[in-house]
Amino acid sequence: MSGLFSTMNVAVRGMTAQQMAIDVTSHNIANANTDGYSRQRTLMETTTPFGMPSMNNAVGPGQLGTGVQVSSITRIRDTYLDYQVRAENGTMGLYQGREKFLTEVQSIFNEVSETGVSNMLSEVFKSWSALSTSPESSNTRTVVAQKSKALTDQLNSTYNQLSKLKINCQDVIQKDVTDINGMLDQINDLNQQVISVKVGGNEPNDLMDKRDLLVDQLSSKFGITIDKKALAGEDLKATDNVGGADPTKDLYFVKSDPTKDVSRFSYVSTIVPSKGSIQKPGETGSYDVTYYKNGDTSTDANKVTMTMQLSDMEYTSLDQGRVLWADKEGYAIDASSNRINGIDSNSKAIPQSGTKTNTDATWGNIKRFEPKTGEINGYQSVQTDIDTYINDLNNMAKAIAYSVNAVHSGNQADTAGELKFFVNSTTAGKEEEITAGNIAVNGEIIKDVMLIKVGKGDTPLPTDGSRALAISKLRDVKLNIQSIGAKTTRAMLLSGDTFSQDTTLGVKMVNATSDGMTIIGDFTNITNRLADKTQYAKNTVINNTKLLAGLEESRTSISGVSLDEEMANLVQIQHAYAANAKIISTVDELLDLIVNGLKK
């Protein structure tokens, strides 16, 4: 029934609701600059009115309201915009990672300076041309030796810097693995807290904001898929994975049910030939693969070693990928969450987990994490590029050594006892194992430049410059460089009529192939391809930056805090609060009139 006390209760409810609205507005204003914060709104609803149908309820003029109550405090969030931002975060992470390292590769090649490889190649051929005009001069011979040494030193330096850059890239992957596992643990903890608060009947808005912020950060590392569950819980897994049979259908990183298995990542630190194996790194054979649980390399207690057979392609894939699926404790697993057999740092076999069984370490069993997007993919794919550039440099170094050595010695194949101009600087190095990292000018020639063969004869003096001229002409000779591989020999490159007697010069000369490239042209092709890839990565980053900025602006317009709007809301709430207070004051006066007026 209605009355003054009922009216006072309505006003009290109104003040209480408006007070809560003031608290929410104050919270919004306080977090106006907080990353990941979503503005909150107080949703109000009328309380149950008087005059609800019942046996004792007399017919009256209508239901009489009893005031207002806060039904919930909700955050304003657009899940579709979240999805778009996270998808673009993956693309941005991919190309930012690629741009970072490809730009460094460009700086290593250093082609804009006078010490670039292509400029030094030109200088070497010019020095041979100059030597052909003054074949008996020790000065011109010294110039040839020194220019050639400068070239090989630059190739050695480029090779070593690229190799170090690849190691740096792998170090970044290791750090990413550690960071990702840490974020997944935080997301999992927040997920359980969100569910607990929901069970209690409250809205965990701030907890969900923190979870969403971490998910946003995680989405830049690799593509993610989120399955919404009851009580605002979330199950999180990778969008895709190309490392072997796809395990992403059943392997989750975060589960709403805390009793379910979740996955993490581990980092492969080394891949070395097993003891007693005779293959070189990268060749087919048995390897000891060492990984660190959860990517934590701070202690050897996390180190586990598996022994497995790898082909050359499998070795390359694992070397460039480096990330393994693991269980929550960090042990490598297969698609069924079975642990892979291995030996820990104490030379003990890894333990089994629950009802799961351990499986053998084979290429088919281990699950590599090779996503199609995100930073991880960027760093993995750029290693492929670096390996390609190293291989291209190796092929070019072989082409230089084989062609010059062939003309210098007059032999189509590597012949015992011949005086090679370019050699493999490693101990007992073979010519067919020459790379950009070990190519060098023969030490005997550096000591005595008069050993350089310049003319038709084998004796240093007197002589003509025909052989030196033939070597200088190699600048314009097209060689089948693209067909060179790790096992290619000089005889294989210069097979058939590719190497024959030149009737004009009177010495054996390398002949051009119809589908080949010049040595300088080959290097120019390498740098052009690098420039194209780098520019594409830069352009994609620029475009995605603009796209992400637009998406973030749209998301902020919905979820962000507008101080002007909040101040306007505060004024409105303040007036409502004051009006409710005035009602209480009015009721107080009326009650005073009734109570005290009856005494008169």
pLDDT digits (tens, 9 = 90+) for 513-546: 988 999 999 999 999 999 999 999 999 999 999 9
pLDDT digits (tens, 9 = 90+) for 5-39: 889 999 999 999 999 999 999 999 999 999 999 99
> What single letter denotes the amino acid at residue 299?
T
* % of the chain exceeding 90 in pLDDT: 79
**Phi, psi angles (nearest 5°) of residue 579:** -65, -40
Q: What is the pLDDT of residue 458?
A: 60
Residue 213 has pLDDT above 80, yes or no: yes
Region 208-219 average pLDDT: 96
* Whole-number pLDDT of residue 251: 83
pLDDT at 598: 65
Q: Are 168 and 497 in contact (CB under 8 A)?
A: no
Residue 52 has pLDDT above 70, yes or no: no
**With 90 as the cut, is the pLDDT of residue 1 above it?**
no
Percent of the chain at pLDDT > 70 equals 94
Read off the pLDDT band of 94 (50, 70, 90). Answer: very high
Neighbours of 224 (CB within 10 A): 22
Which residues are paired to 224 by β-bridges? 238
Could you give the 3-state DSSP secondary structure of residue 600?
Answer: coil
- Can you give the residue ranges of every domain in the chain? 4-76+560-597, 107-164+381-527, 241-370
pLDDT value of position 112: 64
State residue 67's pLDDT score. Answer: 93
First CA to last CA distance, the chain: 28
Q: What is the pLDDT of residue 242?
A: 67
* Each residue's pLDDT tens digit, 460-469: 556 789 999 9
Peptide bond into 462 cis (omega under 30): yes
| pLDDT for position 3 | 81
Residue type, 74: T
For residue 533, the model assigns a pLDDT of 96
HSE-up of 14 (CA within 13 Å, CB side)? 21
Q: Taking a C-beta distance cutoff of 8 angstroms, is the pair 244, 199 a contact?
A: no
Q: DSSP assignment, residue 237? A: E
Quote the pTM value: 0.91
289, 305 contact by CB (below 8 A): yes
Please give the pLDDT value at position 374.
96
Q: Which residues are CB-contacts of 418 (< 8 A; sequence separation ≥ 6)?
A: 405, 409, 411
> What is residue 151's predicted lDDT score, i.e. its pLDDT?
96
- Who wins on pLDDT, 381 or 1? 381
Average pLDDT over residues 194-215: 95
Distances from the Cα of 297 to the Cα of 55, 275, 293, 491, angstroms: 75, 23, 8, 47
C-alpha span between 9 and 6 (Å, rounded): 5
For residue 543, the model assigns a pLDDT of 97
Average pLDDT, the chain: 92
Res. 600 pLDDT band, cuts 50 70 90: low
Query: Are 181 and 51 within 8 A, CB to CB?
Result: no
pLDDT the model gives residue 461: 53
Residue 595 pLDDT:
84
The three-state secondary structure class of 402 is helix
122 CB-near residues (< 8 Å, 6+ apart): 475, 520
